[in-house]
Amino acid sequence: MASIKDVAAEAGLSVATVSRALNGHPSVSEDARRRVSAAVEALGYRPNAVARSLRTDETRTLGLVISDVMNPYFTELARSVEEEARALGYSVIIGNADERPDLQDHHVTTLLDRRIDGLLVSPTDGGSPGMLGAARAGTPMVFVDRWIPGVDVPVVRSDGRAAVRDLVAHLHGLGHRRLAIIAGPAATTTGRERVDAFREALAAYGLELPDAYIGQGDFQAGSGRRVTEGFLDLPVPPEAVFAADNLMALGALDAIRARGLRVPDDIALAAFDDIPWFVHTDPPVTAIAQPTRDLGRAAVRALVDRIAGRPGASVTLPARLVVRRSCGEPGTGRPPSPSPVRRSTP
Amino acid sequence: MASIKDVAAEAGLSVATVSRALNGHPSVSEDARRRVSAAVEALGYRPNAVARSLRTDETRTLGLVISDVMNPYFTELARSVEEEARALGYSVIIGNADERPDLQDHHVTTLLDRRIDGLLVSPTDGGSPGMLGAARAGTPMVFVDRWIPGVDVPVVRSDGRAAVRDLVAHLHGLGHRRLAIIAGPAATTTGRERVDAFREALAAYGLELPDAYIGQGDFQAGSGRRVTEGFLDLPVPPEAVFAADNLMALGALDAIRARGLRVPDDIALAAFDDIPWFVHTDPPVTAIAQPTRDLGRAAVRALVDRIAGRPGASVTLPARLVVRRSCGEPGTGRPPSPSPVRRSTP
DNA sequence: CTGAAAGCGCTTACAG
DNA sequence: CTGAAAGCGCTTACAG
């Protein structure tokens, strides 16, 4: 591949002048500029970003470590991050932690070794060594969606508290009293917050959230299935299940369907995170929608601020409830089917 | 950040010896090795991958340019690619072309500038200048899913021909005769092949595929919606619609629902690409499933072969039909008429 | 406006 | 087994 030296030779100029011409430096004659362009064209020259990075100590690359690419919420986040980054002249490298701290650390380390300019992360847990190390090492960093308490890094996330209250009001209005939650990992902020918000909202109606109605999931479909099976096996199963993310809702749907039960007749279902498919599931799923695009944008802006030495603002955006049919037909004041009794399993 | 020079100073050794120790070179004394480890530990040293790449002329990074990250098929492909690459000691940088040739070129160029070792691409069109340039420039490259005829690069893809035949047999068996397709862009191989396969399969039953029943989509949801509306506006609308990917099927579902029509009673629907949500849509969608994970793995292996100077094999894996309920109830021999019995099991 | 030179952090023949 | 030195492809003070 042609190097800047080849271009210099072809143009009959020094490497320094070619470099200046290439970078739009003002003090380059029109003539030199033209000769450089011609040489570049003739040789099909493309600057070597690796060499440039070594010299300038910046890669114009952002790292994004998310917990699960297969989760449409994170996919959309990643897309929005890439768009905003591109607009600002950055590339982004995505690392998929798959909800595993060890994999997360692997990606953080790899990214740091590649000298990315800044790191965007949605931590899988309360702080793996690699993560904490990165934060301490002073790499510009911002948390998106999830964060680690006590680590001094801007956080860009959405607050679902009000939406969860709306959801509980909705469920209560439909006559549901025994409400359960499929929680995310307690090691994550979102895992804890959604349970807390749910519990608080229930308390406002004098309702309890018994331990048996808190199922421990891991934000992935399989756990949603297992937890839901557990709920259905209870002597007194819940009337409504709130899945703390869309994948666990998918798992819940699997479990419910496998038992030959129907939503919302036999059991109501709601999910955190809204996705296009929820409009078309049987039945359409009531969900809490995050302003995902805005989150991605804000996160990149905060990170770029930090990279530039500016403070980098934390941002919290509200989530909102999207009512569909999976909790019962609105307006009836009661769950659709008169007797939400557990059916015998086929 | 500590550099190798700092480590050398700390260990009381030359930079050369430190480098050798770090890279597991055999001719390093046990003593030197220990001192290097201690110094690395003390300084929290991590090798600078940028510098190493400049020197060794390899980045241990693969580029993956896909047409749409938001498409679950490509997300799964990306995930599988990253897993296999990681197992082989490579990182991967994903570029999202969003079905836009210009964006695709942007990513190809950026990736090449970063001197990735090899490029995996699912071309958005028949060959944008950047793509063709990359292929000519001799960067190790392999096509996944889609390819460009005439470009001498290994192709890893799945063949849906047999599955499409099975689908048509299924539709025909259910009594459907007026079959339509929402096609992908004619500029893509998959866009063309799926139409061709569909037409051929119809021909085997003496059925035609009139132009009015070929809707031009772009593999994204919006186009599925528009095309389906067009179909429904026809004086004689089709009895069954085959969407050439899952996103266009989503759009079709949107359009059908917006008209207050029902699947499969009013119109049957099938899709290319199977995704977990298809089990839970209303009704569950009959789809053609690709061996996505295997495709990703095979693509990485072929690419790594090329990087190593080996030939790099093209691979074609069969897709298979997964029958669900969106084309009608099997066994009735007719599209499920007036009162389709609601099943509780998939 | 231009060029010679230093240097970014590594690796690797070459000598010893 | 170890070290001095060259060099990967750039950018950028420093001189002119």
Task: Name the residue range of residue A171's domain.
Answer: 159-290
**How many domains would you assign to chain A?**
3
> Across the interface, do B50 and A59 touch by the CB < 8 Å criterion?
yes
Domain membership of residue A25 (yes or no) is yes
Rounded Cα–Cα distance for residues A114 and A179 (Å): 47
Look at residue B15 and tell me whether its pLDDT is greater than 80: yes
Beta-carbon count within 10 A of B10 CB: 19
| Residue A13 shares a structural domain with residue A125 | no
HEC string of B10-74 equals HHCCCHHHHHHHHCCCCCCCHHHHHHHHHHHHHHCCCCCHHHHHHHHCCCCEEEEEECCCCCHHH
> Measured between beta carbons, which residues in chain A are less than 8 angstroms from residue B277?
250, 277, 280-281
Rounded Cα–Cα distance for residues B125 and B185 (Å): 8
**8 A C-beta contact, residue A60 and residue A272:** no
> Across the interface, do B75 and A69 touch by the CB < 8 Å criterion?
yes
Beta-carbon count within 10 A of B123 CB: 28
| Residue B8 shares a structural domain with residue B85 | no
Q: How far apart are the first and last CA of chain A?
A: 67
Q: Report which of A248, A266, A244 is spatially closest to residue A257, judged by C-alpha positions.
A: A266
* Confidence (pLDDT) at B337: 38
Residue at minimum CA to C1' distance from nucleotide D2:
B17
* Confidence (pLDDT) at A282: 83
HEC string of B239-289 equals CEEEECCHHHHHHHHHHHHHCCCCCCCCCEEEEECCCHHHHCECCCCEEEE
Using 50, 70 and 90 to split pLDDT, how confident is the model at A87?
A: very high
B151-177 pLDDT, tens per residue?
A: 999 999 999 999 999 999 999 999 999
HEC string of A229-273 equals HHHHHCCCCCCEEEECCHHHHHHHHHHHHHCCCCCCCCCEEEEEC
Domain membership of residue A263 (yes or no) is yes
From the CA atom positions of chain B, what is the Rg in Å? 26
> Measured between beta carbons, which residues in chain A are less than 8 angstroms from residue B276?
221, 250
**8 A C-beta contact, residue B296 and residue B144:** yes
| Residue B137 shares a structural domain with residue B153 | yes
| Residue A270 shares a structural domain with residue A165 | yes
Using 50, 70 and 90 to split pLDDT, how confident is the model at B110?
A: very high
Q: DSSP H helical segments within A114-160, as ranges?
A: 129-137
The tokens for A190 are 């979102």
Using 50, 70 and 90 to split pLDDT, how confident is the model at A332?
A: very low
Using 50, 70 and 90 to split pLDDT, how confident is the model at B11?
A: very high
Rounded Cα–Cα distance for residues B221 and B229 (Å): 13
* Confidence (pLDDT) at A238: 98
* Confidence (pLDDT) at A331: 55
Q: Tokens 């952002």 map to which residue?
A: A62
| Residue A154 shares a structural domain with residue A207 | no
Structure-model confidence comparison of residues A329 and A313, the more confident one: A313
| Residue A106 shares a structural domain with residue A227 | no
| Residue A279 shares a structural domain with residue A313 | no
Nearest CB partner across the interface for B346, out of A46, A59, A257: A257
Nearest CB partner across the interface for A276, out of B76, B250, B276: B250
The tokens for B224 are 């599925």
From the CA atom positions of chain A, what is the Rg in Å? 26
Structure-model confidence comparison of residues B142 and A127, the more confident one: B142
Whether residue B283 is preceded by a cis peptide bond, meaning omega within 30 degrees of 0, is yes
Look at residue A283 and tell me whether its pLDDT is greater than 70: yes
Q: Is the CB of B32 under 7 A from strand D?
A: yes
B52-68 pLDDT, tens per residue?
A: 999 999 999 999 999 88
Domain boundary among B47, B66, B82: B47
* Confidence (pLDDT) at B333: 42
Rounded Cα–Cα distance for residues A290 and A145 (Å): 10
For the residues A203-225, what does the mean pLDDT come to? 96
Assign residue A230 the CATH number of its domain: 3.40.50.2300
Which letter does DSSP use for residue A281 in this model? B
Q: Where are the beta strands (DSSP E) in chain A?
A: 61-66, 91-96, 118-121, 141-144, 155-159, 179-183, 214-216, 240-243, 268-272, 286-289, 315-318, 320-322
Return mean pLDDT, chain A. 92
Look at residue A335 and tell me whether its pLDDT is greater than 70: no
Look at residue A346 and tell me whether its pLDDT is greater than 50: no
**A37 CA vs C4 C1’ separation (Å):** 23
| Residue B151 shares a structural domain with residue B109 | yes
Rounded Cα–Cα distance for residues A112 and A117 (Å): 9
Domain membership of residue B322 (yes or no) is no
3-state DSSP assignment of residue B108: helix
Residue at minimum CA to C1' distance from nucleotide D7:
B55
| Residue B163 shares a structural domain with residue B276 | yes
Using 50, 70 and 90 to split pLDDT, how confident is the model at A330?
A: low
Domain membership of residue B107 (yes or no) is yes
Q: Minimum mean pLDDT among A43-57, A130-144, A187-201, A299-313: which range?
A: A130-144
* Confidence (pLDDT) at A102: 94
Q: Tell me if chain B has a CB within 8 Å of the CB of A26.
A: no
Domain membership of residue A10 (yes or no) is yes
Burial (0-12, 13-18, 19+ Cβ within 10 Å), A41: exposed
Look at residue B281 and tell me whether its pLDDT is greater than 90: no
* Confidence (pLDDT) at B336: 41
Assign residue B34 the CATH number of its domain: 1.10.260.40
Q: Report which of B297, B291, B294 is spatially closest to residue B82, judged by C-alpha positions.
A: B297
Q: Minimum mean pLDDT among A103-107, A340-344, B96-100, B243-247: which range?
A: A340-344
CA B92 to chain centroid, in Å, comes to 15
CA B11, B13, B19: angle at the middle one, nearest 5?
Answer: 95
**Amino acid, single-letter form, for residue B121:** V
* Confidence (pLDDT) at A334: 42
A14-33 pLDDT, tens per residue?
A: 999 999 999 999 989 999 99
Domain membership of residue A336 (yes or no) is no
Domain membership of residue B326 (yes or no) is no
3-state DSSP assignment of residue B81: helix
* Confidence (pLDDT) at B329: 79
What is the enclosing helix (H) or strand (E) of B334? none
Q: Report which of A302, A305, A287 is spatially closest to residue A73, judged by C-alpha positions.
A: A287
Using 50, 70 and 90 to split pLDDT, how confident is the model at B331?
A: low
Look at residue B334 and tell me whether its pLDDT is greater than 50: no
| Residue A132 shares a structural domain with residue A34 | no
Using 50, 70 and 90 to split pLDDT, how confident is the model at B130?
A: confident
For the residues A281-290, what does the mean pLDDT come to? 93
For the residues B310-326, what does the mean pLDDT come to? 95
Domain membership of residue A332 (yes or no) is no
| Residue B129 shares a structural domain with residue B170 | no
3-state DSSP assignment of residue B155: strand
**Amino acid, single-letter form, for residue B43:** L
C1' nearest to CA of B8: which nucleotide? Answer: D3
**B13 CA vs D8 C1’ separation (Å):** 23
**Strand order from edge to edge, sheet including B91-96:** B91-96, B61-66, B118-121, B141-144, B155-159, B315-318
For the residues B249-276, what does the mean pLDDT come to? 94
| Residue B194 shares a structural domain with residue B93 | no
B182-199 pLDDT, tens per residue?
A: 999 999 999 999 999 999
Look at residue B27 and tell me whether its pLDDT is greater than 50: yes
